[in-house]
Structure 1
Amino acid sequence: MIDLQVRGESGRIVASSRGFDWTQELIDLDAAMFPMLAGLCGYLDTVFNRRQIRILMAELDRLPAGLIPELARAQVRRLATLVGEGQHLYLWFCGD
């Protein structure tokens, strides 16, 4: 399971959401086509800054349907929007 959090520079959690299951399809993503999403790991935390969010969102738009449930996609978008509109915020994908 990968959960989602928006954190400030101090580490304070601003927003969070249940994420999605770590599947073989996500593990097998083509890193050349999905460099941000292919960098996720179900056992580690991965952090994206404001500039990286734009790339992540473009990848999410290209991601085949079903790899990440629609509710989880919506949560990624919601939290990414918070990061993009805020100051000194980061989107965390928190692995087990």
Structure 2
Amino acid sequence: MINMQVRRELDNIVARTRDGVEWSNAFAALDPAAFPMLSALIPYGDAMFNERQVPLLLAELDRLPDACGGAWVEQAREMCQVVLNESHHYLWFLGD
């Protein structure tokens, strides 16, 4: 399970999701050229997105294959909006 959080620069957690991203082989099969942001997600590591990367991530979420979807997608969109609305905030995906 990959959890999502929004943090400020000094590692202060300002938001977290109810659900996480359930890892599947469908994520590993995403083409890194078509999904460079989501290709950064791995089940055992962390990925961080800044305010300049979040719009790219949102565009990828818009065309995400159904096999990778779920409740996490809408929660990720909400977290992205927090990052875009506040300066010095980052969206973290935290692997197990």
Which one has the bigger strand percentage? 1
CA-CA distance at 1:66 after TM superposition = 3.5
Contact map agreement 2:6 2:14 (CA 8 A) in 1 = yes
Q: Give me the CA root mean square deviation.
A: 0.8
Which residue number corresponds to residue 67 of structure 1? 68
The alignment of Structure 1 onto Structure 2 pairs a total of residues equal to: 95
Query: Among the aligned pairs, what percent are the same residue?
Result: 45
CA-CA distance at 1:61 after TM superposition = 0.3
Q: Which amino acid aligns with 1:40?
A: L
TM superposition outliers: structure 1 runs of 4+ over 6 Å? none
Which residue number corresponds to residue 53 of structure 2? 52
Which structure 2 residue ranges, 5 or more long, are not aligned? none
Which residue number corresponds to residue 30 of structure 2? 29
Contact map agreement 2:46 2:95 (CA 8 A) in 1 = yes
- The separation in 1 between residues aligned to 2:46 and 2:37, in whole angstroms, is 13
Contact map agreement 2:26 2:67 (CA 8 A) in 1 = no
- The separation in 1 between residues aligned to 2:21 and 2:92, in whole angstroms, is 13
Which structure 1 residue ranges, 5 or more long, are not aligned? none
